[in-house]
C-alpha cells in the first residue's frame, strides 16, 4: 500500500530549504571565491580601460565554480499539528519501502540512513510498530543553458572601442531527484509527517560519495522531524 496519494504526491519514478552540510575545506573554498569576486569588482573601479567582456567572463566563471562546489539540497516538510509524536516508540518500513524502486545498494544505504536517524531519536525497530515509514521517489530531467560571448571590446589603432562578438549557447542535461519520507500512524494508516528532499543527482559518483550523499540528504530531511535526536 502506498501512502503518497493522501498528500497528492505523484509516485511516478522518473524529478539548500536547508543546506547540505559542507566540509570545512569546501566552506573555506566558497569563502575564497567570494573574496576573489570582490577583488574583481575593486579592479573594475580602479582601472581606466577595462575589457568588459573579459570581466564578465571571469565573474561568471567564478560564480559557476561556487555553485558547483557549494551545491545544496532543498528540503521541506509537513505534519499534523494535532498529533502527539511522543506516543510513537517503535517503527518499521512498509513492504513498498523495502522494495523501493532504486538500485539495491542505494536502497540499502537509504534504509540504513533512515534507521540511524530513527535510532538517534529513541525509536526502536519492531515487527509490531506504532508507526510505519513509507518512501516515494520522483525523478525529473532538466536542461540548463549557458551563453558565452567572444570578441566585443578591444584596443585597436584608434583607441579602445567595440567590435564584432559571437554568442555560443551550451546546453547541459541533468537529473533532479526528490525523496519523500512518510511517517504513518499504524493504527489510522494516515500520514502524520512527511519530509522531502530535492537535489541534482550525480550518477557517476563513487560508492563512498553515494553513501555520503544519502546520509547527508536523509539527515537534512530529518532536521524538521518533530522528535529531536536524543543520542
pLDDT of residue 193: 98
pLDDT in tens, 105-151: 999 999 999 999 999 999 999 999 999 999 999 877 777 777 676 65
Longest distance between any two alpha carbons in the chain, whole Å? 85
Assess contact for 111 and 95: CB atoms under 8 A: no
Assess contact for 193 and 226: CB atoms under 8 A: yes
Q: How confident is the model at residue 61 (pLDDT cuts 50, 70, 90)?
A: very low
Nearest partner of 139 among 175, 111, 185, 106, judged by Cα: 175
pLDDT of residue 174: 61
Residue with cell 551545491: 71
Domains of the chain, residue spans: 4-19+73-222, 21-70
Distance of CA 136 to the CA centre of its chain: 16
**pTM score of the predicted model:** 0.60
pLDDT in tens, 180-201: 999 999 999 999 999 999 988 7
Please tell me the distance from the alpha carbon of residue 72 to that of residue 52, in angstroms, as a whole number.
Answer: 31
pLDDT of residue 122: 97
Nearest partner of 175 among 217, 143, 213, 141, judged by Cα: 141
Fold of 4-19+73-222: Double Stranded RNA Binding Domain (3.30.160)
Please tell me the distance from the alpha carbon of residue 215 to that of residue 187, in angstroms, as a whole number.
Answer: 29
pLDDT of residue 200: 84
pLDDT of residue 72: 78
Amino acid at each position: 500500500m502506498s501512502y503518497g496519494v493522501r498528500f497528492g504526491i505523484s509516485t511516478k519514478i522518473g524529478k539548500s530549504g536547508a543546506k547540505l552540510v559542507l566540509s570545512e575545506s569546501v566552506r573555506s573554498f566558497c569563502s575564497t571565491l567570494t573574496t576573489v569576486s570582490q577583488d574583481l569588482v575593486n579592479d573594475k573601479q580602479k582601472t581606466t580601460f577595462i575589457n568588459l567582456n573579459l570581466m564578465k567572463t571571469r565573474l561568471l566563471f567564478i560564480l559557476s565554480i561556487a555553485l558547483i562546489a557549494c551545491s545544496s539540497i532543498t528540503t521541506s516538510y509537513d505534519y499534523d499539528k494535532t498529533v502527539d509524536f511522543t506516543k510513537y516508540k517503535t517503527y518499521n518500513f512498509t513492504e513498498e519501502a523495502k522494495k523501493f524502486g532504486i538500485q539495491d545498494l542505494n536502497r540499502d544505504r537509504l534504509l540504513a540512513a533512515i534507521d540511524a536517524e530513527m535510532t538517534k531519536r529513541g525509536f526502536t525497530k519492531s515487527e509490531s510498530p506504532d508507526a510505519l515509514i513509507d518512501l516515494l521517489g520522483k525523478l525529473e530531467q532538466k536542461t540548463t543553458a549557458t551563453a558565452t560571448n567572444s570578441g566585443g571590446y578591444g584596443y585597436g589603432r584608434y583607441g579602445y572601442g567595440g567590435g564584432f562578438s559571437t554568442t555560443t549557447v551550451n546546453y547541459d542535461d541533468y537529473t533532479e531527484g526528490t525523496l519523500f519520507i512518510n511517517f504513518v500512524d499504524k493504527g489510522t494508516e494516515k500520514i502524520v509527517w512527511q519530509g522531502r528532499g530535492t537535489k541534482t543527482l550525480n550518477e557517476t559518483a563513487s560508492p563512498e560519495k553515494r553513501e555520503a550523499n544519502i546520509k547527508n540528504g536523509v539527515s537534512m530531511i530529518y532536521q524538521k522531524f518533530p522528535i529531536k535526536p536524543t543520542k
